């Protein structure tokens, strides 16, 4: 659920990393995957609004893409096998038996592999549930993970937005948002059954007490495993912002860490006042348009987020040194009035960090961006000639980087409702 409110508030000055003026377009190739309907020569394509919330997972040596059909309210899948018309199917939302439902499903999907199966988690907007589909190599299976009952630690509430997945010690973890209580949930699959917990929001043990602060948690999550621990990141809304000014777009980033999935420690990587307390004037980060993490080196981790400022927005980064979060850096300045950093994804390719994001309002180019970390700073290049594009999914695959681009609401080179695969660099 991308939020488009823009509010002008002054933010504190933050130390910036080296900035490199955008260079010429890198050696990226692009290919239309879905959209434009049958007129593009592939009968499985659709002319619906698609592509903005695309994610990927590698399964059985093939790259799979999952994305939401805004028009039909379906979850779609493409197997990116190199064919001119790759296999595309509706996974859920249009009915059809086998556990599928006819409902508005598929927003904010998260995919992974576990136990030899391909898993995708997504939100059921019609019923307010977290749904789960998994593919065993021949058949798709479906279930409601949380939101429809109170059995086994589940909650009968509006849950399941913004899911993220991670695997640690042969267990699959899914973190997501309870929109009713505005808290963060975790579901754990041990190969046999699900277990549930409320991760943050209820207070105690370093957790935020939403009852005491009046804030909200959620709007995005991202998950990773490094340092032999689970790391979940999510957004905390600033409760002291004026609600008439679009308060839910300002706040801070929270982190939860665990080595076993039950005992948690919490940190505030960005946005909280000095000392880590919860208070007014947070105004760190735009709410969840970008929140992603990527290895920088074998011992360092980078957290990328979008910061909303006086004249626009910009992508920023923090570095985990192994013991602490260090120095906020600006990946790309906002060039006076540009909105940069939406829908970011990131990979480490051959030891080099690439961050991909949308960029609007530049004087030199206006579209999806590849920010490459070099010894001198960030090298900013144009990923493609699309006037607009949301590079929400980047994957290192078969000796290169595959990036899925899509924007359902704005026209570009391939039209306004298309999913495009960019490969490079």
- What are the tens digits of pLDDT across the range 314-334? 899 999 998 888 878 889 887
pLDDT (average), residues 258-262: 96
Query: 128-142, 197-211, 234-248, 338-352: which range is least confident on average?
Result: 234-248
- Joined together, the tokens standing for residue 145 give 């993970």
Q: Which pLDDT belongs to residue 314?
A: 86
Helix, strand or coil for residue 134? Answer: strand
> Is pLDDT of 13 > 60?
no
Q: Give dist(CA 338, CA 256) in Å, integer.
A: 32
pLDDT (average), residues 242-253: 61
Q: Which pLDDT belongs to residue 368?
A: 87
* Mean pLDDT value across the chain: 84
Which letter, b or e, does each residue of 314-345 get, where b requires 16 or more Cβ atoms within 10 Å of its Cβ?
Answer: bbbbbbbeeeebeebbbbbbbbeebbbbbbbb
Helix, strand or coil for residue 212? Answer: helix
Q: Which pLDDT belongs to residue 274?
A: 47
Q: Which pLDDT belongs to residue 272?
A: 65
> Is pLDDT of 271 > 90?
no
The answer to whether 247 and 238 are in contact (CB under 8 A) is: yes
Name the pLDDT band for 98 (thresholds 50, 70, 90): very high
> Is pLDDT of 286 > 60?
no
The answer to whether 77 and 133 are in contact (CB under 8 A) is: no
Q: Which pLDDT belongs to residue 11?
A: 29
Query: 131-145, 187-201, 246-260, 395-409: which range is least confident on average?
Result: 246-260
> Is pLDDT of 18 > 60?
no
Closest listed residue to residue 343, CA positions, set 50, 11, 52: 52
Q: Which pLDDT belongs to residue 22?
A: 44
Q: Which pLDDT belongs to residue 333?
A: 84
The answer to whether 403 and 394 are in contact (CB under 8 A) is: yes
> Is pLDDT of 277 > 80?
no
- The continuous run of DSSP H or E covering 304 comes out as strand 301-308
Closest listed residue to residue 141, CA positions, set 196, 195, 89, 98: 98
Residue 145, C-beta contacts closer than 8 angstroms, at least 6 positions apart: 121, 129, 130, 131, 132, 160, 174, 187, 194
> Is pLDDT of 224 > 70?
yes
Q: Give dist(CA 63, CA 74) in Å, integer.
A: 20
Residue 210, C-beta contacts closer than 8 angstroms, at least 6 positions apart: 181, 182, 183, 201, 202, 203, 216, 217
The answer to whether 359 and 368 are in contact (CB under 8 A) is: yes
Query: 87-91, 137-141, 340-344: which range is least confident on average?
Result: 340-344
More confident site: 359 or 250: 359
- Does the domain at residues 29-424 carry the CATH identifier 2.120.10.10? yes
Name the pLDDT band for 418 (thresholds 50, 70, 90): confident
> Is pLDDT of 308 > 80?
no
Q: Give dist(CA 301, CA 310) in Å, integer.
A: 28
Q: Which pLDDT belongs to residue 25?
A: 47
Q: Give dist(CA 421, CA 34) in Å, integer.
A: 9
What is the residue whose two structure tokens read 């309002």? 361
- Joined together, the tokens standing for residue 118 give 């391909």
Q: Is the peptide bond before 318 cis (omega within 30 degrees of 0)?
A: no
Burial class (CB in 10 A: 0-12, 13-18, 19+), 129: buried
A 10 A CB-CB count for 40 gives 18
Q: Give dist(CA 271, CA 35) in Å, integer.
A: 39
**What is the reported pTM?**
0.90
> Is pLDDT of 282 > 90?
no
Q: Which pLDDT belongs to residue 213?
A: 83
Domain boundaries, the chain: 29-424
% of the chain residues with pLDDT over 70: 82
> Is pLDDT of 207 > 60?
yes
Half-sphere exposure of 84 (CA within 13 A, CB side): 4
Q: Which pLDDT belongs to residue 9?
A: 27
Q: Which pLDDT belongs to residue 281?
A: 41
Q: What does each C-alpha distance from 320 to 129, 303, 347 come to in angstroms?
A: 34, 8, 16
pLDDT (average), residues 128-142: 97
Name the pLDDT band for 280 (thresholds 50, 70, 90): very low
């Amino acid at each position: 659920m991308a939020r488009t409110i823009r509010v002008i508030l002054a933010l504190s000055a933050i130390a910036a990393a080296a900035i490199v003026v955008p260079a010429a377009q890198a050696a990226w190739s692009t290919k239309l995957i879905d959209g434009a309907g049958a007129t593009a020569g592939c009968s499985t394509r659709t002319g619906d609004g698609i592509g903005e919330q695309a994610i990927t997972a590698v399964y059985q040596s093939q790259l799979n893409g999952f994305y939401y059909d805004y028009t039909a309210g379906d979850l779609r899948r493409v197997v990116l096998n190199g064919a001119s018309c790759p296999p595309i199917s509706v996974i859920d939302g249009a009915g059809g038996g086998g556990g599928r439902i006819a409902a508005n499903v598929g927003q904010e999907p998260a995919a992974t592999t576990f136990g030899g199966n391909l898993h995708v988690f997504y939100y059921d907007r019609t019923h307010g549930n977290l749904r789960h589909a998994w593919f065993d190599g021949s058949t798709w299976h479906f279930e409601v993970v949380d939101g429809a009952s109170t059995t086994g630690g589940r909650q009968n509430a509006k849950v399941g937005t913004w899911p993220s997945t991670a695997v640690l010690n042969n267990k699959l973890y899914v973190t997501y948002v309870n929109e009713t209580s505005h808290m963060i949930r975790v579901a754990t699959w041990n190969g046999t059954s699900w277990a549930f917990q409320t991760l943050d929001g209820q207070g105690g043990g370093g957790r935020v007490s939403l009852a005491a602060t009046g804030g909200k948690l959620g709007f995005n999550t991202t998950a990773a495993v490094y340092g032999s621990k689970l790391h979940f990141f999510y957004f905390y809304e600033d409760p002291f912002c004026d609600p008439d000014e679009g308060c839910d777009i300002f706040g801070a980033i929270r982190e939860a860490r665990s080595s076993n999935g039950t005992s948690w420690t919490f940190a505030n990587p960005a946005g909280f006042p000095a000392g880590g307390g919860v208070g007014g004037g947070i105004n760190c980060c735009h709410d969840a348009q970008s929140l992603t993490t990527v290895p920088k080196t074998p011992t360092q981790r980078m957290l990328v987020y979008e910061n909303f400022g006086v004249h626009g927005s910009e992508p920023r980064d923090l570095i985990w040194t192994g013991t602490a979060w260090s120095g906020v850096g600006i990946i790309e300045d906002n060039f006076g009035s540009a909105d940069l950093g939406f829908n970011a994804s990131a990979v480490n390719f051959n030891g080099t960090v690439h961050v991909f994001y949308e960029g609007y309002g530049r004087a030199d180019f206006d579209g999806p961006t590849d920010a490459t970390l070099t010894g001198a700073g960030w090298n900013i290049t144009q990923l493609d000639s699309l006037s607009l594009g949301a590079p929400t999914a980047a994957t290192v695959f078969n000796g290169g980087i595959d990036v899925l681009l899509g924007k359902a609401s704005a026209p570009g080179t391939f039209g306004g409702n298309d999913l495009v695969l960019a490969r490079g660099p």
